[in-house]
Amino acid sequence: MHRVKVRTDMPPGHVRTPSYLRGKVGVTERVLGPFPNPENLAYGHSGTPLPLYRVRFTMAEIWGADAETPNDTLEAEIYAHWLEPADAA
Amino acid sequence: MPHDHADHLSPSGHPYRPDDDHPLSYWQTLEIAVRELLVEKEITTAADIAEQIDAMDARNPTMGAQVVARYWTEPEFATALLADGAKATREMGFDIGPMKLIALPNRPDLHNIVVCTLCSCYPRNLLGLPPDWYKSRAYRSRTVREPRKVLAEFGVTLPESTEVRVHDSTADMRYIVIPNRPARTEGLDQAALAALVTRDSMIGTGIARTP
């Protein structure tokens, strides 16, 4: 498990990183893929193959003090180019 | 009066659904044009298309229920399903195509629930077409924000000691929840066990029935 941070960018176009997770820190649960980058596929390109990480976040990390139950968790699939090491952030 | 349409209500008191007398949308027109061209060029036939629609409609949650019943009763299958869900279910005849499948086993201290906030990703090879509420903005936005409240509305109230884990199906994976096996089911065979597995228990908005 590695601590990772989701990039905070808000680029236009077809992006499969939910905005509510951008800038949030989680741990990698497993690595999948490589899968073709959907941000290229959506526009008719072949799509660079990228690793896909399942990242686990706590509800406290995502929603802060408004979390329904802070220790509950959420997992989502995030493409490698959307992640950076959390310690570098 | 049975044929009195003046009040636009059916005999049961509900309004009649209006006829869809509106022009085709751009996308409907495009779909018809492409379909007719494919048939005209003999790339496919109208019968093939109807057959595919039938195959889609034939898939239903009893397929996923068979997978869960095997998981409960065959330790080797359980291991194979966790290692490669797509392969294990393909071998049962439930081909997921190019997608991958991840099985999410519940435990007494862990409850899994699946949502696709971006669209409506769903394991159709195991559960058939998704219910309308799964695609609704309310389910998609609230499940990541207040999963316990959503679960309570489905009749599932969990103790604080049970962790709720939401899975946002954002990319190439599809998910099936493996509900906890109900108590007092030791003597049941796989068919009887599968009958306890509801669609909602495999989405995570429900739990398996007790016999």
Domain edges within chain A: 3-88
Question: What was the ipTM of the complex prediction?
Answer: 0.92
Question: Which residues on B lie below 8 Å from A68 (Cβ)?
Answer: 145-149
User: What are the residues whose beta carbons fall under 8 Å from the beta carbon of B161, sequence distance 6 or more?
Assistant: B109
* B96–A contact, CB cutoff 8 A: no
pLDDT band at B3 (very low <50, low <70, confident <90, very high): low
Residue-wise pLDDT for B130-144, tens only, equals: 999 999 999 999 999
- Quickly tell me which residue has 């298309």 as its tokens: B49
Q: Does B8 score more than 80 pLDDT?
A: no
Catalytic residue at B169? no
**Which residue among B118, B148, B168 places its CB closest to the CB of A74?**
B168
Q: For residue A11, give the amino acid letter.
A: P
The span from the CA of B92 to the CA of A20, in Å, is 37
User: Which string of DSSP letters, residue by residue, matches B82-146?
Assistant: HH-HHHHHHTTT---TT-EEEEEE-BTTEEEEEE-SSS----HHHH-SPPGGGGSHHHHHHHHH-
- Please give the average pLDDT of every successive group of 10 residues along chain A, which has 89 residues: 92 89 96 87 86 96 97 96 82
Looking at CATH, the fold of the domain delimited by A3-88 is given as SH3 type barrels. (2.30.30)
Catalytic residue at B121? yes
Candidates 3.90.330.10, 3.40.50.150, 3.40.640.10, 3.40.718.10; correct CATH number of B59-203? 3.90.330.10
